[in-house]
Amino acid sequence: MRLLIASVIAVGTLLAQTEVRHGTVSNLPSYKDLKYGPLPPIKPPVPVEVTLSNDLKVFLLEDHELPLVRGSALIRTGNLFDPADKRGLAEITGDVLRSGGTPSKTGDEIDVELENVAASVESSIGETSGTLSFSCLKDNTDEVLGIFKDFLSAAQFRQDKVDLVKTQIRSAISRRNDNAHGVVQREFRDIVYGRSTPFGWRTEYSDIDNIQRQDLLSFYQRYYFPSNILLQIYGDFSASEMKAKLEQIFGAWKSTQPAVPEFPKVSSKAAPGMFLAAKTDVTQTFFDVGHLGGELRDKDYPALEVAAEILGGSFSSRLFQSVRTKHGWAYSIGASWSAQYDHPGLFHISGSTQSAHTVDTLKAVREELDKIRSSEVTDQELQTAKDTVLNGFVFFFDRPSKTLNRLVQYQYYGYPRDFIFQYQKAIAAVTKADVLRVAKEHFKPEELTFVAVGNPSEFGTPLSALGLPVSPIDLTIPEPKQTTAKADPASLTKGKQELQLAQKALGGVEKLAAVKDLEYHADVEVQSPGGPVMQVKQTNSYLASGAMRQEIELPFGKQYIYSDGNTGWLKGMQGPQNLPPAVLRQVRGEIFRQIARLMLSDRDADRTVNYGGDGVIEISAKDGPSVQLQVDETSGLPLKLAYQENGAGGPGSVEQTYSDWRDVDGLRLPFQWTVVQGGKKFAEVKIQDYKINSGLTEEMLSKKP
Amino acid sequence: MKSGIAQSTFLLLVCPWLAPAQSLQDFEKHVTEFTLGNGLHFIVFERHEAPVVSFHSYVNAGSVDDPGGETGIAHMFEHMAFKGTETIGSKNYPLERQAMDAVEHIYDLYDAERNKGAKADPKKVAELEQQLKAAMEKANSFVIPNAYPQVIEENGGVGMNAGTGEDSTNYFYNFPRNRLELWFLLESQRFYDPVFREFYKERDVVREERRMRVESSPQGMLEEALLATAFEAHPYRNMPGGWASDIENFRLPEAIQFYKQYYVPANITISIAGDVDPKECQRLADKYFSILPSGPLPSGPRTVEPVQKGEKRVQVESPAQPFMAIGYKRPNENDKDDPVFDVLGEILAGERTGLLYTELVRDKKIALEAFADPTFPGGKYPSLFLFFLVPNMGHTVEENEKACYQIIERLKTEKVNDATLNRIKIKERAALIRRLDSNSGMAEALTFYHVNYGDWRKMFTGIDDLAKVTADDVMRVARQYLVPDARTVAYTSRPPGAAARAQKREAQ
C-alpha cells in the first residue's frame, strides 16, 4: 500500500514520459469536421457477349490503358466429381493439362516459348470449376491464343508429366501435417462437410496409386467441350476483331458431350464437439470454430455479412476488440460467414493463441457468439459495419476486369447480373433487428465444431473445461495399400468369387448376414518382447453396426476399451480417457477384421475385394485398413489373415493363422489362432466360447466399468 | 535489387509500341514530386481510371535499426501507429495521460526491484506486479479501442495494413478519392502525435505474432536459424519481429525514443497513386504534414558484418518433413553487380524455365519446390543470395544440396546462352508494364526506388544496368560470390527417435 501511495504522489512531479508531444495539440483539425463530396456514379463497363458457332460463350472487354491482353476460360467441372477411389483426379488433371503439352509441342517446349515473349498460360481445377488462363503482351496475342486453344481442346497429358505430378502430390500428402495452420483449416473443413463426402474427403496415397493417365484423359474429355465453357478476354484489342479471330481459332472445335450433371449437394449433419489434433512443435494453438453456413443467394446473406463483420470482420469488431486488443491473447482472430455461390459455405471463427490461453480464448469466442445472439448490436456498430461495405463499394469497380469477372461468375452460377447492386441495396437496408434475428437463426452454438491444433501438454487448463466431449484427431497419414496385385475387372470379379467360396465354407451368406452381435471369450498367451509369457483373459464383443468392446484381464489389472468405430474410450489403471489416436487405429482395424463382417466385404460399398493370386484375397476399406486373406482353395476356409498395424509401437506387419474350426449356431468359426508380429510369434489365442446374437446393445458395450 | 512486390528491372529493347525512353517520358508526365520544408518527400502518380487512390508511406527504418536488447521495437512502433492520437481514441486525454504516466512509474519501480536479481524481494515484486496490472487497467479505461483504424474502415478504406521489414517500415491503404483529405489528416496526425496507449497489451499481441510466424512455423524457425548463423554481427541476424525476451520486456519510453529518432520527416517518403490532382495533394500536404518537426537524418547501424571465413551449417530439429535453405554472402543493392545478381536469380528461379525448376523439380524429380532469391533478407546492407530446397518424397536434403551445387558449378564454367539472357530481359520489361496496372503496387514501387536508389526513375532506368549484364558477368559473379567459404546452410532434421517419442506421448 505504501508503494502505491508513493507512486501516486510521484505522478505529479514526473516528466510525462509517455507523451510524444509536449504542449497542446488539441487544436489539430478533427476528422469529424471534414465533409466529403459525392463520388461519380458507378458506370460499370459493358462487355461484348457473343456465342461462337460451336456454342462457346465469350465475354469481351476492351481496356486500352496498357498493351496487355488477358483472359480465362471457366469450365464447368470440379473436384466434387472425383471418383471415390481416385480423389485428387481433378487436381492432377488440371495440372497435367498444362504441363503435358499439346499435339505439336511438349509442355516444356511451350514453357520456353511462352516465357520468351513474357506470356503465360496456366491451368487448374478447383472445387466447383476449372480455369485455364493466359496473359500476354498485345503483340503476341495470336500466338498465345493459339497455344491457349490447343490446351483447351487438345491437351496431351504426356505420361512423364503424369508421373511427375503424382510424385509431387505424394510429397504434398507427406507434408500435409507440417504446418498447424494448414492442419486446422483442413480438419475443420473435413469434419464439418463430412469426411466421407466429396466436400470433406481428402486425397490419400492410395488414390494417387489408382489414378492413371487414361483417367485424366477421360476426365478432361468429359468436361472440356465448347458449350461447357465461358471464356472471358480483356485488354488492348478491338472487340469486333477479336470476335472474328476467336471464331477462326475456336470455331472448328466441335466436341460435344452430354450436359454436365449438377454438383453433389452438401449432405453432412452437424458435428458438434471438440476435436483436438496434437502437435508438439508449436507454441500456439490454432483453432477454427463454426458450422455449415449458407449461400450468397440466401435472403439473409447481407444481414449475415453485417453480423459476421460486427462479430469478427475488422479492427473494430468484437472478437478483435476482446481477444486481441483487450486481452492480448492473439495476433490473428476473426469471423467470417463465407457464403458460397452454389453450396453452403463454412461459418467460422478462427485464430491462434499461445497454448496456455487456449481455453480462455475459446471461451471468449463462445461468449461473443452468445452475446451477438442475445441482444441487438449498437447503432454505432451497425453503422460502422454498413459504412465499411458501402463506402468501400467503389473498390468492387476499381478495375474493369473485376466487373467482367463478376459477370462471368454470375452467369456460371446462375445469379442475376445486377446481384452486386442488389447486395448494396440490401446492406443499406439491414437493421439492428435483422442482425439479431439472423444471428439467432443462423449462428448455432449447439452445432459448433471446435477444431484445435496445438500442444495439449501446455494448455494449462484442459480442453475438457469447455464442457464438450474431446475427440482426438488422428493425423497419421495412411500408408499406401500393400496391394501386390493390380486391380482390374477380372481380378475384382475373381476376388469376389473367392470370397463367396469362403462365405459358403463359414455357413453361407444368410447366416453371416444374420449376425447382429458376436462375442467370444479367449485365453491368450502373450509373448512380450524379451519378457516372460503372460496369461491374459480376453472378452471381445462386436455389434454389426461396427461398435466393439474389449475387456482384458492382465496380471496387474483389468483394461476396458470401447469404440463405436469413430471415437471411444479406454479405461486401464487410471480413469477413463478418450482413445488415443494410435489405439483408435488399432481398434478400427479390429472392427474391420471382425470375421462375420469381413466375410461380407463384397456387399459393402466402402470396401474393395480384389484377387491377388495364390489364393490371396485383398480386402481394403476406402479410408483405412486393409487385409490379405489367404483361403484354402478347396475347402474355402480362411487359413491366414495378414495386415499392417500402425499402432503405438509404430508400423509393422501382422499375421494370424487360424485352426480348430468348429460349428457354432450354423456358422463355422476358428477356435484357435496364432499371431505373428514383425516375423516373431506374439500371441496364441484359444477361444473358450462364441456367443452369437445374445442381444448385445450399444448401451451395454459402451457402459463404463 | 529488391522490392516487396516483385523484382523489377527493365531493359532497353526496340519495341514498336513502347520504347522505354518514351515510356519513361510519358510516365513522367503523370508523376509530380515535391518535398516539404521539413524534408518529407511526396511522389504523386496520377491515374484516373477509377475514382480511387492508393497511399504508401515508406519509413526508411526497420528492424536493423532496433537498438541492442530491443529487437522488435521498430515492429512494435508499427503496431502503436494504429493506436490513435490525443484526439482519436481517448475518452479523456489528460486523465489518460496521467494514468499512462502512473503505469510507467510503477513499471520503473517494478523493474528496479526485479533487476536486483537474486536479491529481489519476491513479495515486493508480486505486489508491484499487482499495482502495475491495476494501473494498466485504469489507463486502458480511458481508451476508445481501435478508434483510429475504425475511422479508416468506416470511410471505405480497404487493404489497410503495415509491415516492418529489415530495411523499412511501410504503412498503406486505399480510399475512394473523396476521402483524400481524410487520409492526409489521419496519416499526418499518426506520425505527429501518436499516443502509445495499450502499449503492454499490444506487446502481448506482438509476442503472439512471433509465436505464430516463427515459433509455430517450421519455415520461420529455419529462417531464424539461417539468419542468426549467417550474420554474426550485423543486425540482419535478427528476424524483424525480434527475440522473445526482448519483446517481453521492452518499455514504452523505448518505443518513443525509437519513434523520435527514426520517424523524422526527412526519413519518410510518401507516394499517392490514383485519381488525384497533384496540386491539391501539395496543398493538403502543406496543410497537414508541415507540422511535423524536422530532425536530423538518423544513421544506420554501425556494425559491419565481418568477412565470412568458411562454410557454416546449422541443423534445426523439427518433426516436419525436411527442407533446406542455403545463403551466400553478397554485397548490398547499390553495388555495381546488383543487376547481375538479379539476372542470376532469374536464370535459377524464373517461373517454369529457371534451372532449379527444370532440373531439380521437373527432370530429376528430387525436389518438390526449389527457388532462389537474389536479395535476402534485405538489400540496404550486404545480404544473402538465397536458395530454398524442398525435397520430393523419397529424396533427401543432401541429394538436393548436391544437385544445387552442381548447377552453381556449371554457372561458373559454362556461359549462359543469349536466348536465356534475352528472355529474362523481355520478362522484366513486361513485369514493369504489368505493375502499372496496380495503384497500390505503383505507390509502393515509387517510394521503394526513391529511397533505395535515390530516384523513382530507377524503376525505368535500371534497364540500362540490366542491358549491360553479359554472360561473362554472370560467370564472374557466380565465381566470385557463390563459393563455399561464403555459404551458410540451414536445414531441418527429424530428431532420431522423434517419431517414437511422439507415439509414446500420444499413447499416454
In terms of Cα–Cα distance, which of A583, A366, A601 is closest to A506?
Answer: A601
Quick check: B366 and B373 in contact, CB under 8 A?
no
Cell of B114: 526485479
Cell of A525: 498367451
Residue A386 forms part of a structural domain: yes
Quick check: A155 and A97 in contact, CB under 8 A?
yes
pLDDT at A561 over 50: yes
Q: Are residues B217 and B275 in the same domain?
A: yes
- Say which residues have a Cβ less than 8 Å from residue A167's Cβ, sequence separation at least 6: B365, B392, B393
Quick check: B197 and B83 in contact, CB under 8 A?
yes
> What was the pLDDT predicted at A621?
83
Alpha-carbon distance of A223 to A75, in angstroms, equals: 7
Quick check: B70 and B258 in contact, CB under 8 A?
yes
Q: Are residues B261 and B361 in the same domain?
A: no
Q: How many CB atoms lie within 10 A of CB A53?
A: 11
- Choose the final residue of a domain: A426, A447, A472: A472
Q: How far out from the chain centre does Cα B489 lie?
A: 22
Contact at CB, A67 and B17, closer than 8 angstroms: yes
Contact at CB, A328 and B422, closer than 8 angstroms: no
Q: What are phi and psi of A138, to 5 degrees?
A: -45, -45
In terms of Cα–Cα distance, which of B203, B268, B216 is closest to B242?
Answer: B203
Q: Are residues B336 and B268 in the same domain?
A: no
Q: How far out from the chain centre does Cα A620 lie?
A: 22
Q: Are residues B173 and B219 in the same domain?
A: yes
Complete DSSP assignment for B353-421: TSHIIIIIIIIS--EEEEEEEEEES-SSSSEEEEEEEEEPTT--HHHHHHHHHHHHHHHHHSPPPHHHH
Residue A128 forms part of a structural domain: yes
Q: Are residues B271 and B332 in the same domain?
A: no
A chain contacts of residue B248, beta-carbon cutoff 8 Å: none
Residue A225 forms part of a structural domain: yes
Q: Are residues A697 and A609 in the same domain?
A: yes
In angstroms, the Cα distances linking B43 to A685, B21, B436, B437 are 84, 20, 15, 17
CATH code, domain with A514: 2.50.20.10
Peptide bond into B377 cis (omega under 30): yes
> What was the pLDDT predicted at B492?
95
- Say which residues have a Cβ less than 8 Å from residue A562's Cβ, sequence separation at least 6: A547, A548, A549, A550, A568, A569, A701, A702, A704
Q: Are residues A662 and A543 in the same domain?
A: yes
Cell of B411: 554457372
Alpha-carbon distance of A105 to A97, in angstroms, equals: 13
B chain contacts of residue A473, beta-carbon cutoff 8 Å: none
Best to test chain B binding among A35, A160, A281 (most B CBs inside 10 Å): A281
In terms of Cα–Cα distance, which of A374, A373, A375, A315 is closest to A347?
Answer: A373
Average model confidence (pLDDT) across chain A: 90
- Choose the final residue of a domain: A441, A472, A503: A472
Give the count of domains, chain A. Answer: 3
The nearest CA of chain A is from the CA of B47 a distance in Å of: 10
Q: Are residues A316 and A438 in the same domain?
A: yes
Q: Which residue has the higher pLDDT, A63 or A566?
A: A63
Q: Are residues A236 and A301 in the same domain?
A: no
Contact at CB, A388 and B97, closer than 8 angstroms: no
Contact at CB, A284 and B434, closer than 8 angstroms: no
Q: Are residues A229 and A120 in the same domain?
A: yes
Contact at CB, A321 and B156, closer than 8 angstroms: no
The nearest CA of chain A is from the CA of B62 a distance in Å of: 20
Q: Are residues A457 and A496 in the same domain?
A: no
**A680 beta partners:** A677
Q: Are residues B180 and B279 in the same domain?
A: yes
CATH code, domain with B247: 3.30.830.10
Residue B382: which domain range?
A: 312-503
Q: Are residues B263 and B337 in the same domain?
A: no
Tracing cell 478462427 back to the chain, one arrives at A350
- Choose the final residue of a domain: A250, A284, A316: A250
Residue B104 forms part of a structural domain: no
Q: Are residues B236 and B275 in the same domain?
A: yes
> What was the pLDDT predicted at B279?
98
Q: What are phi and psi of B29, to 5 degrees?
A: -60, -25
Of B176, B215, B429, the CB nearest to A394: B176
In angstroms, the Cα distances linking A257 to A225, A226, A228, A246, A541 are 7, 9, 9, 21, 52
Distance from first CA to last CA of chain A, Å, rounded? Answer: 55
Please work out, in degrees rounded to the nearest 5, the angle formed at the alpha carbon of residue B146 by the alpha carbons of B145 and B149.
165
Task: Describe the strand order of the beta sheet including A57-62 as a list of residue ranges.
Answer: A48-51, A57-62, A229-235, A68-75, A130-137, A120-125
Handedness of CA A566, A570, A576, A580 (dihedral sign): negative
Tracing cell 519513361 back to the chain, one arrives at B24
The nearest CA of chain A is from the CA of B391 a distance in Å of: 8
DSSP strand pairing (A57-62 vs A229-235) = parallel
Residue B261 forms part of a structural domain: yes
Count Cβ–Cβ pairs < 8 Å, chain A vs chain B.
Answer: 290
ipTM: 0.92
A chain contacts of residue B128, beta-carbon cutoff 8 Å: 3
> What was the pLDDT predicted at A14?
40
Residue B212 forms part of a structural domain: yes
Cell of A623: 479410408
Residue A390: which domain range?
A: 273-472
> What was the pLDDT predicted at A6?
33
pLDDT tens digits, one per residue of A591-647: 888 888 888 888 888 888 888 877 888 888 876 778 888 888 788 888 888 887 765
Tracing cell 496490472 back to the chain, one arrives at B133
A chain contacts of residue B253, beta-carbon cutoff 8 Å: 17-18
Q: Which residue has the higher pLDDT, A268 or A371?
A: A371
Alpha-carbon distance of B494 to A280, in angstroms, equals: 13
Q: Are residues A508 and A647 in the same domain?
A: yes
Task: Average the pLDDT over each of A10-19, A263-272, A369-378 and give the range with the smallest value.
Answer: A10-19
Q: Are residues A228 and A277 in the same domain?
A: no
Once rounded to an integer, what is the mean pLDDT over residues A158-165?
A: 96
In angstroms, the Cα distances linking B2 to B225, B378, B384, B452, B474 are 22, 7, 12, 9, 18
Contact at CB, B205 and A324, closer than 8 angstroms: yes
Q: Are residues B60 and B163 in the same domain?
A: yes
Quick check: A383 and B150 in contact, CB under 8 A?
no
Alpha-carbon distance of A254 to A686, in angstroms, equals: 69
Q: Are residues A541 and A635 in the same domain?
A: yes
DSSP A178: S
Quick check: B233 and B382 in contact, CB under 8 A?
no
Q: Are residues A451 and A339 in the same domain?
A: yes
**A526 beta partners:** A534, A683
Quick check: A233 and A60 in contact, CB under 8 A?
yes
> What was the pLDDT predicted at A516?
92
Of B105, B154, B422, the CB nearest to A388: B154
Cell of A503: 462365405
Q: Are residues B320 and B256 in the same domain?
A: no
Give the count of domains, chain B. Answer: 2
Once rounded to an integer, what is the mean pLDDT over residues A434-451?
A: 98
Q: Band of the pLDDT at A24, cuts 50, 70, 90?
A: low
CATH code, domain with A85: 3.30.830.10
Residue A11 forms part of a structural domain: no
Q: Are residues B368 and B449 in the same domain?
A: yes
Contact at CB, B87 and A65, closer than 8 angstroms: no
Contact at CB, B146 and A167, closer than 8 angstroms: no
Q: Are residues A408 and A536 in the same domain?
A: no
pTM as predicted: 0.81
Task: Average the pLDDT over each of A24-33, A482-491, A689-698, B292-301 and give the range with the smallest value.
Answer: A482-491
Q: Band of the pLDDT at A17, cuts 50, 70, 90?
A: low
Q: Is A625 exposed, middle or buried (0-12, 13-18, 19+ CB in 10 A)?
A: buried
Tracing cell 470455331 back to the chain, one arrives at A251
Task: Average the pLDDT over each of A28-32, A58-62, B169-173 and give the range with the smallest value.
Answer: A28-32
Q: Are residues B155 and B260 in the same domain?
A: yes
> What was the pLDDT predicted at A488?
81
> What was the pLDDT predicted at A234?
97
Contact at CB, A331 and B206, closer than 8 angstroms: yes
Alpha-carbon distance of A336 to A443, in angstroms, equals: 11
Q: Are residues A81 and A221 in the same domain?
A: yes
A chain contacts of residue B211, beta-carbon cutoff 8 Å: 283-284, 331, 352, 354
Alpha-carbon distance of A292 to A447, in angstroms, equals: 9
Q: Give the residue from chain A lying closest to B202, CA to CA.
A: A328
Regions of chain B where pLDDT drops below 70: 1-22, 496-508
- Say which residues have a Cβ less than 8 Å from residue A197's Cβ, sequence separation at least 6: A264, A266, A267, A268
- Choose the final residue of a domain: B251, B274, B289: B289
pLDDT at A449 over 50: yes
> What was the pLDDT predicted at A590?
86
